[in-house]
Amino acid sequence: MKLTKRHYGWVEEKEVIEYQLVNDQGAIFQCLNYGAVVNAILVPDHDGCLENVVLGFDKLSDYMAHPAYFGALVGRVAGRIRKGQWLNHQLTLNEKDNHIHGGENNFSQVVWQTKIVEDRTDTLGIQFTYHSLAGENGYPGNLAVTVTYLWTNENTWVMNVEAKTDEQTLFNPTNHTYFNLSGDTKRTIAGHQLQIFSDVYAETSKDKCPTGQLLPVIKTVYDFREPVLMRTAIEKHPNGYDTAFKLSKGIVNLNEQESGRRLEIQTTREAVIVFSTTGMDEDYFINGKKMCSHLGIALETQELPDAVHHKHFQSIVLEPNKPHISQTIYRFPVQRNLSVHKL
């Protein structure tokens, strides 16, 4: 396996570096120390053609100017916290009356310290560390976060997250990569098939905060227990998906039959948030193309959003001397002749 790095820019006086990890099959994983951003993953289709299957910008200035969390590590807490309130703590309100994705200048907008990981001959990785000081975006506690991205010879990305605090605080991060398995965004995700091992989804109010109700997916537009063509799902649910699903097996699958590419996600986290980019028609360009509705799909593994206000959701309270440890694995096999089950 091979690692190269190149200068990518500056944030104030801190250098931003792009790391490129190449496995023995030639498949490529690229990331930045800015926001721990995953800016490219090149894996083969059924003809062996290597193409990028995630959305990313070409320049650091674009990541800084358009904070849509492309490929970034989001935290301290991903998703929304209603009114930014937890106990007697007031968190930054950065989406109208609510707190979202850790507040302003969150994990996705800082330069992380990095270290190369070379523990095995079939795996290469980058370890990111960040120390979030007490009071940052209103959170108590000094928080030490370590995120490790490993790239293997089996075209697998492993993300390990660890964190510890010196005072009770909140922690519920995610990686916010947008996937498009067609390769180099040749097509939208309309032809992708999504499967989620989940029996319930989190109902939300108009401000997209969970109501606390976990509703059955059966006989609804949220039923992805069998693979569903995204074109069919969006036709039945034109507003698209920005939806939290509580996982029953910790497994999410995405595939595109035309390219033969498949993404298999396995996680220790409680839930996945599916964001279909519906209506995301923007003025900027991503992967050399104008950002448009359904150009990618984000599959964000985390605990359920706004858990601090719903006791039956898994707790996101992090205690001193009880570190957070979690793992999400992203596999990129190639398959042919995939069957499609419609809603």
The residue written with tokens 């009071």 in the block is 135
3-state DSSP assignment of residue 120: strand
Nearest-angstrom CA–CA distance, 241 and 45: 27
Residues in the chain: 343
Q: What is the DSSP string of 253-300?
A: EEEETTTTEEEEEEESSSEEEEE--TT---SSEETTEE--TTS-EEEE
Report the catalytic residues: 176, 300
Sign of dihedral through CA atoms 157, 163, 65, 301?
Answer: positive
Alpha helix segments (H runs only) across 86-140: none
Quick count: other Cβ atoms within 10 Å of Cβ 2?
Answer: 11
Quick count: other Cβ atoms within 10 Å of Cβ 283?
Answer: 7
